[in-house]
């Protein structure tokens, strides 16, 4: 889980493709 979270912070663009983009936006 930790690895996945790190990727989100380092690759914000990828988050858009993620199924939970809202969570990343806050």
pLDDT tens-digit map of 1-26: 566 565 656 665 655 566 666 665 55
Domain interval for residue 19: 1-26
Q: What is the separation, in whole angstroms, between the first and last Cα of the chain?
A: 18
pLDDT at residue 15, rounded to an integer: 58
DSSP state of 20: -
**Cα 16 to Cα 22: distance, rounded to the nearest angstrom:** 9
- pTM, two decimals, is 0.12
- Is there a contact between 15 and 4 (Cβ–Cβ < 8 Å)? no
Helix (H, G, I), strand (E, B) or coil at 11: coil
pLDDT at residue 25, rounded to an integer: 56
What is the number of domains present in the chain?
Answer: 1
Q: In this structure, what token pair is assigned to residue 3? A: 């690895």
pLDDT at residue 24, rounded to an integer: 55
């Amino acid at each position: 889980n930790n690895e996945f979270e790190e990727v989100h912070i380092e690759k914000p663009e990828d988050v858009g493709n993620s199924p939970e983009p809202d969570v990343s936006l806050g």
